[in-house]
Structure 1
Amino acid sequence: MSGDTPSRILLVAKETTLKGLLERLLVARGFSVVDGGTGVDTVSLLGGAGPIDLVICERTGPGLDEVALFEEIRRHPDHGRVPILALPPADPECTVRALEAGVSDCLAKPFHPAEFVARVERLARPTAA
């Protein structure tokens, strides 16, 4: 994004405490956060979401798993090239599945907030570095 327009981040998180923390971190860094709801909500939301600079996915709710969500985003005509940051559990198999589904980066939980912000900055504001 350019100028004074904040980068828009679509945040998908099942765990409400973590979702609130992530949203506060993002807003404090000047990002605009769009609540992506659960995976099923996210897919239907994409059509009318407007420009999105980054998708962050912690966990989806019932009905659509994270890998299926990543694949749906990659197939979306308007958002297929948007960077995706996956926040999988600390399990190498989950990380590999996410990367194979087309995510741009993974940050396994638990993670340090400063590392989270650094990765978000790199993905959502690639020219800011």
Structure 2
Amino acid sequence: MSGDTPSRILLVAKERTLRTLLERLLVGRGFDVVDGGSGVDAVALLGSAAPIDLVICERTGPGIDEVAMFEEIRRHPDHGRVPILALPPADPECTVHALEAGVSDCLAKPFHPTEFLSRVERLARPEAA
């Protein structure tokens, strides 16, 4: 991405409150946020939306679980290399499953907003890191 165009982030979070909070943090940092809805919606959006620089996934909701969504993204011919930041619960097993499914990084909940934004910057704007 050029310095003039904001990085686009596809945000998938089941809980509306968390989604709103994360979106505010991201927009405040200059990112363009696309609401990914459920995991099924997020995978469909990858195929039809403008290029996405990062996928952030907390919980997918009904229809597809997080690991299946990560695997589906990795199989996508055009978006298989998009970085994915998973926000699993503080359970090592969840983190391992996410990493095995191909996510780029995991940040277990609860997390500090500064650490969240630091990881997002590193993944969405690697040239700035």
Q: Residues 98-128 of structure 1, C-alpha deviation per residue, up to 9 Å, x if partnerless?
A: 0000000000000000000000000000110
| Structure 2: gaps spanning 5 or more residues | none
Other structure's SS at 1:47 match: helix
Whether 1:5 and 2:5 are equivalent positions in the alignment is yes
Tell me the equivalent position of 2:22. 22
How far apart are residue 63 of structure 1 and its match? Answer: 1.1
Whether 1:75 and 2:75 are equivalent positions in the alignment is yes
| Structure 1: gaps spanning 5 or more residues | none
Q: Which amino acid aligns with 2:21?
A: L
Whether 1:125 and 2:125 are equivalent positions in the alignment is yes
Q: Which amino acid aligns with 1:84?
A: I
Q: Residues 12-53 of structure 1, C-alpha deviation per residue, up to 9 Å, x if partnerless?
A: 010110100000000000000001100111122111112100
Cα separation, 1, equivalents of 2:41 and 2:51: 17
Q: Which amino acid aligns with 1:25?
A: L
Other structure's SS at 1:63 match: coil
How far apart are residue 62 of structure 1 and its match? Answer: 0.7
Cα separation, 1, equivalents of 2:15 and 2:112: 17
How far apart are residue 3 of structure 1 and its match? Answer: 2.6
Q: Which amino acid aligns with 1:69?
A: M
Q: Which amino acid aligns with 1:112?
A: H
How far apart are residue 78 of structure 1 and its match? Answer: 1.2
Q: Residues 40-75 of structure 1, C-alpha deviation per residue, up to 9 Å, x if partnerless?
A: 111221111121000000000111000000000001
Q: Which amino acid aligns with 1:107?
A: L
How far apart are residue 89 of structure 1 and its match? Answer: 0.2
C-alpha RMSD of matched pairs (Å): 0.6
Quote the sequence identity (%): 87
Cα separation, 2, equivalents of 1:78 and 1:50: 11
Other structure's SS at 2:88 match: coil
Other structure's SS at 1:14 match: coil
